[in-house]
C-alpha cells in the first residue's frame, strides 16, 4: 500500500482522463496558528473557488479547460504537528515523483514536510514573515519556525525569500548569520524584476506561496495579515519571472476562509490556473 492510499481522502476536482498536467493535494492543518485560525479550511475553499473561475489565462493566453488535473484529496486531519509533517513528507515524496505538484494549505508549517521531498530543488518563498524563530508559543514546530527548521536540516544555500516586512530582531540575526538571501517588500516595490539577479543558479524550484506576501487590501483572508505587501500586479509579475525556471512543485498556504470575503480564495485559485497554464 502506498502512502497516498494510506493517508489521503477523497478526490475533489479531478478532471480529464489523459496524463495529468498537475497533481494536487491538500493539507488541512492549523494547530499552531497564532492569530487568525481557520487555515485548515483553506484547501476546500481554494477548490470551491477554482470550480467557479474562468479557465483562460491572461498571462499566457491559454485556456486550461482541457488540462487533466488529478486531485488526490486531503491528508488525514490531525492536530499533531509531528504526525502531520511525517505524513506530508511521505506523501509529497510519492506524489512529486509522479509529476508537477500543487499543495494546498493549511498553515505554513506544512512546507517543512513537503519541501523535504524535493531533494535537489532550490526553495523560493513569498511571505510577509521570515518564520525563522527558534521557538514560538512553546513549540519548535510552528508556522513561525518552519524556515529555521529547514535551514537546520538542509542548510541555507539556494533559498530566496521575497516580500518580508514583519519580523523580530532574533529572526534578522539568524537571517544574517545564515546568509539567507532576502528581497524585502520595499525592494520589490522599487523594482519587482530585481529577483532575476538572484535566480541565475536556480535550475529547479520548489515555490512556497504564503498569501500574506500580498497586501491585505488584496488578500484579507490570511492567518497573519501584514500591511505594505505586494500588489496583485507585482505578485503576478514575480510569478511570471519564476515560471521561466522549472518549478517542480509549489504550495499555497495561510488562506483563512473565516476571515475572507472570497477574494483571497479566488486569488489562490487564479494562482493555480496560471501555474497550470505555464506548463501548457
**Omega before 106 within 30 of 0, i.e. cis:** yes
- C-alpha cell read off for 242: 519564476
Residues in a beta bridge with 123: 159, 206
DSSP of 42-108, one letter per residue? HHHHHHHHHTTS--B-TTT--B-TT--EEEEEEBPP-S-HHHHHHHHHHHHHHHHTTS-EEEEESST
| 121: its cell numbers | 530543488
Q: Phi first, then psi: what are they for 208, rounded to 5°?
A: -110, 115
| Domain limits, the chain | 3-279
- β-sheet bridge partners, residue 150: none
> Helices 42-50 & 263-279, crossing angle to 10 degrees?
70
Q: Which fold has domain 3-279?
A: 3.40.800
Query: What's CA 167's distance to the chain center, in Å?
Result: 19
> How many other CB atoms are found less than 10 A from the CB of residue 218?
16
| C-alpha closest to that of 24 among 36, 13, 9 | 13
- The pTM (predicted TM-score) of the whole model is 0.94
Q: Which residues, 6 or more positions from 107, have their beta carbon under 8 angstroms from its beta carbon?
A: 29, 30, 31, 32, 33, 39, 143, 223, 253, 254
pLDDT value at position 60?
83
Q: What is the pLDDT of residue 195?
A: 92
Per-block average pLDDT, block size 10, for the chain (280 residues)?
63 68 96 91 96 90 91 95 96 96 97 94 97 91 96 94 95 96 95 90 95 97 96 96 95 97 97 94
Nearest to 224 by CA among 165, 160, 155, 158: 165
Q: For position 213, what pLDDT does the model report?
A: 98
Per-residue model confidence as pLDDT tens digits over 166-186: 999 999 999 999 999 999 999
Q: What is the pLDDT of residue 17?
A: 65
Start-to-end CA distance of the chain, whole Å, equals 32
Q: CA-CA distance, 277 to 271, in Å (whole number)? A: 10
Amino acid at each position: 500500500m502506498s502512502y497516498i492510499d494510506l493517508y489521503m481522502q477523497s478526490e475533489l476536482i479531478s478532471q480529464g482522463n489523459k496524463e495529468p498536467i498537475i497533481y494536487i493535494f491538500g493539507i488541512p492543518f492549523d494547530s499552531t496558528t497564532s492569530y487568525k485560525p481557520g487555515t485548515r479550511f483553506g484547501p476546500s475553499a481554494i477548490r470551491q473557488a477554482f470550480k467557479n473561475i474562468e479557465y483562460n489565462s491572461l498571462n499566457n493566453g491559454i485556456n486550461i479547460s482541457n488540462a487533466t488535473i488529478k486531485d488526490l484529496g486531503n491528508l488525514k486531519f490531525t492536530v499533531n504537528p509531528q504526525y502531520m509533517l511525517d505524513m506530508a513528507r511521505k506523501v509529497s515524496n510519492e506524489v512529486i515523483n509522479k509529476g508537477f505538484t500543487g499543495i494546498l494549505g493549511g498553515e505554513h508549517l506544512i512546507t517543512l514536510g513537503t519541501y523535504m521531498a524535493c531533494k535537489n530543488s532550490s526553495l523560493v518563498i513569498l511571505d510577509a514573515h521570515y518564520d525563522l524563530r527558534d521557538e514560538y508559543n512553546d513549540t519548535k514546530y510552528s508556522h513561525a519556525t518552519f524556515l529555521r527548521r529547514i535551514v537546520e536540516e538542509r542548510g541555507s544555500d539556494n533559498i530566496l525569500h521575497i516580500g518580508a516586512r514583519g519580523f523580530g530582531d532574533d529572526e534578522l540575526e539568524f537571517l544574517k548569520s545564515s546568509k539567507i538571501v532576502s528581497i524585502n517588500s520595499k525592494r520589490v516595490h522599487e523594482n519587482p524584476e530585481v529577483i532575476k539577479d538572484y535566480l541565475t543558479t536556480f535550475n529547479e524550484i520548489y515555490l512556497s506561496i504564503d498569501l500574506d506576501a500580498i497586501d491585505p487590501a488584496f488578500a484579507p483572508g490570511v492567518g497573519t495579515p501584514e500591511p505594505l505587501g505586494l500588489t496583485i500586479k507585482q505578485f503576478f509579475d514575480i510569478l511570471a519571472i519564476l515560471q521561466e525556471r522549472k518549478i517542480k512543485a509549489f504550495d499555497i498556504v495561510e488562506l483563512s476562509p473565516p476571515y475572507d470575503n472570497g477574494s483571497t480564495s479566488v486569488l489562490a485559485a487564479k494562482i493555480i490556473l496560471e501555474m497550470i497554464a505555464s506548463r501548457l
